[in-house]
Amino acid sequence: RRSARLYTPKCNDVEVTVRTRREAAIESSAIIRVVFTKLIGQVTPPTHGTMRISSSSVSVAAAAALLASSDLHDAARCGAHAFSPAARSPSSSVGGGSTMPSDGRRLPFAVGGLGVVGGGGSSRPLTELNESPPGETAPVEVEAEAAPAEEAAAGTNGDDPAAAATIVAETTGEKSSLNGEEQKTTTTVVLADAASFLKPLPDSRSYRAIRLPNSLVALLVSDPTTDIEAGSVHLRAGHFQDPAHRPGLAHFHEHMLFLGTEKYPNEEEYEAFLSRNGGSSNAYTDMEDTNYYFNVAPLDHDDDDDDDEDSEGGPAAGTGTSAALSGALDRLSQFFISPLFSEDSVERELRAVDSEYKNSLASDTWRNYQLLKSGTSEGHPFRKFGCGNYNTLTNGGDISGEIAESSGGSNPRDDLVKFWEDNYKPTNMRLCIVGRAGLDDLQKTVEETFGAIAPPPPSVDDEAEEATNGDSSGKLFRTEHSTYGGVRAFDASNLGLVREVVPVVEQRIIKMQFATPPLEDPVLQETRPYRVLSHLIGHESPGSLHSLLNDEGLINSLSSGVGIDTSDFSLCSLTVSLTKKGMEQRERVLELIWQWIALIRSAVEEDEDGLMARYHDEMRQMSKVNFSYRENGDPTDFSSSVADLLFYHEPSRVLAASSMTGPFDAEVTKAFLERLRPQNCIVTVWDPDLEKEEGSDVVTSASGTSSASASPWQEEKWYGAKYREVRLPEEVVDHWDNPKNLDSRLKLPKLNEFIPTDFSLRCDDDDAAHAELDEPKGADANEAPGKVTPPSILIERPGLRMWHKMDRTFRVPKTSLTMHLTTPNIYRSPRAMTLNRLYQKVLRDDLNEFVYDAGVAGCSYRVACLPTGYRISVSGYSEKLPHLLDVVTSRMLSLIAEMKEGPEAHPGLALKFEKARQNLLRQTKNFRLDTPYETSSYISRMLVEDNVWHVDNYISEMEGEYADSHPLTLEGCAQVAEECLRGRGKVEALCMGNINEKEAKEVASVIEQHFLQSRPLAEEEYPQFRSHKLPTQAEAVRLFGPDVESSSIPTKIEDVAHSESEANNAIQVILQTASEHELGYEGTGTLELLSYIAYNSAYNRLRTQEQLGYIVSAFTKKTAGSANAFAVVIQSSSTLPGVLEERIEAWLESFREELVNMPEERVAMEAAAVVAQLLERDMKLSDEVSSAWGEIVSTETLSAKKNLPAFDRLERLADTLTIGKECTSETVTAKGLKQNMIDFFDKYLLSTSPERRALSARVYCQKSKEEYEKNVGKPGVLSSYADSRYLKQFLSISAPAPYWI
């Protein structure tokens, strides 16, 4: 199923007959190519079992010896799966598992939080969590490129006899293969050694790919400099493998693996171990895949818990691998050796999955994904319901019952065991680990942990497997429709449709999805034609489809790419976000889309001057540049992604993944483009106004209409999406497929002038200059080892402070330029804030055509309107960055001048302004549809923070009676923006990366010229944001009366979820502590440690044991003005907020007992884990820039007496938690830290403490609205923003100074 496209040789010196069955010849030759690429060059596709081999790199004898040592009879499949350009943007999850609402392989090395997509595990936040539902995202390309074949061969020791001998030795063994389905070796086999890996230039890690005797393939990554170690297991089994009678079983199975194994039966053991070692874990279930991943900090201690086997000669003993990584791998490996699936855990976790399902009922992302799946052909697994709920997982059970069997269902445990036995075997798994230890030590640890997994049973005969697959003979795309018995997910019966959907939130979108071959198809792997086609379809330069529609005010955005990719089909998508005007003219929009596709088709078919090849080569060039200078990313994301990619790429090429694109292939491109036809398409329209129309108000074109208004409304079974659909009329199909005339404004883009060519490093030039003067090279000679030198002040004068640091560490030709223009004018009123946001949107819209090519070429810009001012940043390859900065800043001012001239002089800008107003209004109104737990956080902030504008204030500026009488205008917007950008202000700026002092001063000149032409901002004018102190019990009695005296949380704020389809309640209990300045370093450190320990305790008690809700977390909450609080949040579909509050209070009581009874050794470990997170070093240049800028910008509103950034803040904070450190004249001890936490708890969190300042923020779903109404007017209950405003006048202000000054 996973064959590889083979290459043409330069010469044919040797002919070898490979003894295989005819149908296995392709797979066997793919295996040979994997082994021989380094040794003997290239091989041709075999014919009738014959393989021709070019021996230009090594001797014929060496080639023959290698062949003689390898028995390829019945060899298992091997291939280079093409990496999908559609990247997931998974959510930060608070425990539990999650199925993905889209496929597309995960982006390797993607930047993101550790909590990507649900899982039986959880991601630990040190600050407030922020979850968003996972969903299908705009396509993202991996900008990387492999070296040409000749260069790659030269770089892999192809001419080295020793290397050849190594390869021969590595491939010796009985029936060995990459996938290992016939593996019978008794020792570990090295599939790729460190020297053979194709790596980016900055990559100093060492790599080794191995196959264990049980056939498990693993990638070992040694990085002695990493502060985070990580591991991931990827399995080729997802919800496509769910049995028909238990939808969602794969997802549920993923949850259950976290809840105990024979070796570690305690449900909390895995998470508790990771927590004690500064780590976290998670997992996701996809259509055909499941991924488990974790991270730990390699702490400088052993795990001394009495119940921990590592301290008693476990895997860590006698190896160089850290105890943290060894212990984590040991625990994770048990998932695949001896999971328990205990009866008690099964029943409880069934309810957790049901809660997860209900959390998504109001999500358009999940609704749309399942609606697409439900329209698939019967018999194809894409149609399945992947998340599952209590009813489906128990085969008819009712969640209101005590157990499944007594409520009409059955226990799924037997099916869980069968699913594990059928799918969780080494040949179906890939492992990737990143650790500090050397490769030999990492290999030993993997052998001692994952080597204990039972080897797979004998393979099923190939003929039996072939009978389940479709016939691929004679097809260009051989893997298409070949996996699931030839059943097509999409065929003529469910293509050529228009589907109209009523969304939950206000959005107007047209999405066109075309049935295309799987991206792993060998024909597509080599040239990846979808990349250049997607690039052209989604291009935003002048003359593009995007440009034309945008200029007419019809669209907000346009994107294209492959959104879903499976083993036997993919869906190529074109998505357009429309304005109201655009939806009214949707037929015209659709016509223009098809004209654009026709223009591209004609360019491909009539490409006499080779323009398409040049587009393709541009993308190859940028891929090569991006790969060459790609920096190491987060080890967790890396291991999770690469474990997946190991199935589809040779290990030595897995780092390059989709970067290895071959030359342009016109015929393959034409064949792929042929799929972009109306009859092969589903056109989905999301419009909140669909229910209002009667059919007559749909604008039609000369060729008819694509409306489904004549069809009845239907409701999708699982998530309740309201939709209707109709088959496209033949005349519409013909009109779209063969447009008679193309709009003369449509033109293909020019070649990209922003592609960089200068990759020289300023630090090398500077070092050469220093060498001439006999000065030390590189960093400051007096700098302590491992100490990072912060940026230094280059310019300081009234109104401007410029910081600069030339990079010598990461050595990449990239630069970041960031500035913050502080002004009091932006947030002075809701109107001013609204107009500045509109200016930001108009600017982005206007600049897009100017800077689009720069973005494609690796340079980006951002202009953000914040309450304290404007933040402007440009980053990317150094060569083109100064020009980009000049373009952006110059246009910011010229745009204001044009807007001031009014709509008559600039009708195009007037269109952009009105589009921006409509979008901002829509987005602001949609904010009210946030999930209940997010709403609870918002309403609490509206009470706690001083001088904040409510969402209704912004809406009233754009809609309603006041907005009608005082409309927002283009000229008014320009005037307000000018006051903020050209009026009184001050600038903090940072130039960092591949930039020297002279160039940084030139940047300062640009800033001064454009933005600092007025007098500097006085300190008294700095914008200030502060927080109120919540009332104590005694203060609440004085405010609300004696009725609240008996309540441990006397102040409550309540609201009702805006969405009618929202089925969840939520609560956030906030326990305010002293301000940062009052707490100081020691108090702040105590709060961080307390919150860190509390997270697991709250999660295990309130979520795992009591099953109150899927979303549960405890964390440190920070509000404006350096205010701190400890917060607990729960979102529940089964329990009212009042009951949730009681359970939180009960947990707090038990948590105090945990602290009292906690061994000092455990306190020391938890403290060390927090320290490890605080001291985690920056992994790449952008990380260091972000860290430095965060410290600099935190001083923006401070007095000049105390406005130097505390670049050592985290180190000093870590000192307060580091055992043995001298801090505040005392030595830090575990005993002291424990007592500090107990004292802190008793002062701020204890229900009977006189200093407790508590708030309960409750949000009710619509079905619980009566409970909300019962509480309106009760003492201590705030039921509206007006109530909050009234209470604020009685509350004092918390000191705004931070703890570090």
Checking if the pLDDT of 56 tops 60, the result is no
Is 1077:1298 a contact under the CB 8 Å cutoff?
yes
User: What are the pLDDT digits (tens) for 437-447?
Assistant: 999 999 999 99
Q: What is the pLDDT of residue 692?
A: 76
Helical pair 1230-1240 and 1076-1098, crossing angle rounded to 10 deg? 100
Average pLDDT estimate for 687-716 = 72
User: What are the pLDDT digits (tens) for 921-966?
Assistant: 999 999 999 999 999 999 999 999 998 999 999 999 999 999 999 9
Q: What is the pLDDT of residue 660?
A: 81
992 beta partners: 805, 816
Q: Which residue has the higher pLDDT, 116 or 1203?
A: 1203
Q: What is the pLDDT of residue 786?
A: 57
Query: What percentage of the chain has pLDDT greater than the value 70?
Result: 80
Q: What is the pLDDT of residue 704?
A: 52
Measured in whole angstroms, how far is the alpha carbon of residue 169 from the centre of its chain? 40
Query: pTM of the full predicted structure?
Result: 0.82
How far is 239 from 465, CA to CA, in rounded Å?
A: 20
Checking if the pLDDT of 1167 tops 50, the result is yes
3-state secondary structure of 840: helix
Q: Which residue has the higher pLDDT, 289 or 138?
A: 289
Neighbours of 49 (CB within 10 A): 16
Give the closest residue to 362 by CA, choosing from 907, 855, 1062, 977.
Answer: 1062
Looking up tokens 């791998």 gives 329
Q: How far is CA 1276 from CA 174, 835, 841, 979, 1213, in A?
A: 76, 37, 41, 42, 37
Q: Which residue has the higher pLDDT, 556 or 32?
A: 556
Looking up tokens 């659909």 gives 725
Q: What is the pLDDT of residue 461?
A: 40
Looking up tokens 């509109």 gives 838
Q: Phi, psi at residue 152, to the nearest 5°?
A: -65, -45
Q: Phi, psi at residue 1229, to the nearest 5°?
A: -130, 160
Measured in whole angstroms, how far is the alpha carbon of residue 1157 from the centre of its chain? 39
String of DSSP letters for 435-500: ESS-HHHHHHHHHHHGGGSPPPPPPPPHHHHHHHS---TT-SSTTTT-SSTT--SS-TTTSSEEEE
Is 454:535 a contact under the CB 8 Å cutoff?
no
Looking up tokens 């009960």 gives 1146
How far is 447 from 985, CA to CA, in rounded Å?
A: 62
Checking if the pLDDT of 1157 tops 60, the result is yes
Give the closest residue to 1048 by CA, choosing from 1144, 939, 904.
Answer: 1144
User: What are the pLDDT digits (tens) for 994-1042?
Assistant: 999 999 999 999 999 999 888 888 889 999 999 999 999 999 999 999 9
User: What are the pLDDT digits (tens) for 1094-1131?
Assistant: 999 999 999 999 999 999 999 999 999 999 999 999 99
Q: What is the pLDDT of residue 1130?
A: 97
Q: What is the pLDDT of residue 1199?
A: 87
Q: Is 777 left (phi over 0), alpha (psi -120 to 50) or beta?
A: beta
Strand ranges of the sheet holding 722-727, from the earlier edge strand across to the other edge: 555-565, 570-578, 509-516, 681-686, 497-502, 722-727, 714-715
3-state DSSP helix/strand/coil % of the chain, to nearest 5 = 40, 15, 45
Q: What is the pLDDT of residue 526?
A: 85
How far is 1300 from 648, CA to CA, in rounded Å?
A: 50
Is 97:90 a contact under the CB 8 Å cutoff?
no
How far is 86 from 101, CA to CA, in rounded Å?
A: 12
Q: What is the mean pLDDT of the chain?
A: 83
Checking if the pLDDT of 266 tops 60, the result is yes
Give the confidence band of 59 by pLDDT, cuts at 50, 70, 90: very low
Q: What is the pLDDT of residue 1061?
A: 87
Out of 90-104, 124-138, 207-221, 851-865, the most confident range is 207-221
User: What are the pLDDT digits (tens) for 326-374?
Assistant: 999 999 999 999 999 999 899 999 999 999 999 999 999 999 999 999 9
Q: How far is CA 1155 from CA 48, 565, 1099, 1105, 1215, in A?
A: 72, 49, 16, 19, 21
Q: What is the pLDDT of residue 693?
A: 61
Q: What is the pLDDT of residue 459?
A: 61
How far is 1097 from 1113, CA to CA, in rounded Å?
A: 9
509 beta partners: 577, 686
3-state secondary structure of 377: coil
User: What are the pLDDT digits (tens) for 456-467?
Assistant: 877 644 333 433
Dihedral angle over CA of 414, 415, 418, 420, nearest 10 = -110
Q: ∠ CA(95), CA(231), CA(356), 5° rounding?
A: 20
